[in-house]
Amino acid sequence: MRNQGWRGLVGVALALAAIALPAAAQPYKAEYTLSIVPDGGTPWGKGTQLWADMVRERTQGRINIRLHPNATLMGGDQTREFTALRQGVIDMAVGSTINWSSAIPEFNLFSLPFLLRGYRSLDALTQGEVGRELFRRVEEQGVVPLAWGENGFRQVTNSRRAIRAPEDMRGLRFRVVGSLLFNDIFTALGAVPTQMTWGEAIRALRSRKIDGQENPITIFNNARLDTVGQRYLTVWDYVADPIVFVVNRQVWDSWSPQDRDIVRDAAVEAARFEVTLAREDLLTSGQGMWENLEARGVKVARLNPEQRQRFVDATRPVYVKWKALVGRDLVEKAEAAVRDESISSKSPSLGTRK
């Protein structure tokens, strides 16, 4: 009896050790890499830096994170970021749903043309069941998602002429990001899309190899695209680009439960700050945003409901094709969430960016 009791205790001790060992076996790294695609001066960059700073401070330096902006950890190729993260080449990232859509096709949801109607509808997706489902997809790929941030609603700019109708885009050469959905949208609108990384895009705009691009206003301003001839901007809010704060699974598992809590809480706080900065037009300091652009020689065009509808109609076949590719169930859930939101807030439609 006594002998058996002793053996039982050993068994329990071994079992406990087995639980504790993997964490103990993986020591903390001296420094963790944190990747982002744009410049550190963007809202995306500032929010990410805040995450790193809060974690370093709250863990008393146990988790020491270095931010690597401008996609340098992937040699500029932003579409490889998620794979590098999965493989542990990168420890952490705050990445765009567009850039990661090659690994997670469901992320193309936010790029379905004209699905979204303002910030509230975007929040209804990321903060609701759709957001949770997308986080499960990320988890399944061996990456730990912690919080949603935001690059922003993407606006179209070019150096040639004002765009108020699909015909205005005919023949113009646009840089598009790395999902074929964007090629389809721009082709449907009669334009000539070319896929490039963001670094290549800035160079191609400067040398006038392309006529235009599409990005949120904060990215436009950070890169000062007005100084490379991008004189026409159309506010069309055709897609939005949420970003996700994540950690590689092995790295996450190597941290103590307390440290994981610190990293998660800091991600949530930093993401909240980041979204506030990204929605510059809602900030008092950002009220003059559009006027500032005009003062720098950028002609800003806004679409009225009829004009917007022509873009919706022209891109409808693309929406239908990609709805099937993203997953009909998920898209229908998203459509219902957008509809419910617009009924509950009675937001009219276009221009309700609150």
Binding span for ligand X2X by CB under 6 A among 5-13, 94-102, 115-123, 337-345: 94-102
158 binds ligand X2X (CB under 6 A): no
Q: Which one of the spans 96-104, 180-188, 257-265, 345-353 is the region binding ligand X2X (CB under 6 A)?
A: 96-104
Q: How would DSSP label each residue in 268-335?
A: HHHHHHHHHHHTGGGSGGGTTHHHHHHHTTPEEEE--HHHHHHHHHHHHHHHHHHHHHH-HHHHHHHH
* Part in contact with ligand X2X (CB under 6 A); list of ranges 93-101, 135-143, 272-280, 323-331: 93-101
93 binds ligand X2X per the rule CB under 6 A: no
Determine which residue in the list 82, 114, 119, 198 makes contact with ligand X2X, applying CB under 6 A: 198
Taking the complex as a whole, the smallest distance from the CB of residue 332 to ligand X2X amounts, in Å, to 26
Instruction: Give residue 250's identity as a one-letter amino acid code.
Output: Q
Q: Which is nearer to ligand X2X, 43 or 131 (CB)?
A: 43
DSSP state of 146: E
230 is a contact residue toward ligand X2X (CB under 6 A): no
In the complex, minimum distance from the CB of residue 350 to ligand X2X, in angstroms, rounded to a whole number: 22
**What is the identity of the amino acid at 176?**
V
Q: Is 151 in the site for ligand X2X (CB under 6 A)?
A: yes
The token duo for 94 is 């705050």
Q: Does residue 78 touch ligand X2X according to CB under 6 A?
A: yes
Window contacting ligand X2X (CB under 6 A); options: 91-99, 135-143, 250-258, 260-268: 91-99
Q: Which residues, listed in sequence order, are joined to residue 246 by a DSSP beta bridge?
A: 93, 145
Residues 6+ positions from 97 with CB-CB distance below 8 Å: 104, 107, 109, 110, 111, 134, 241, 242, 243, 244
* Minimum gap (Å) between residue 96 Cβ and ligand X2X: 4
Residue with the two structure tokens 């964007």: 182
Answer positive or negative: Cα dihedral of 286, 112, 44, 123.
Answer: positive
Name the residues that contact ligand X2X, by CB under 6 A: 37-38, 78, 96, 98-99, 151, 177, 198, 215, 219, 241
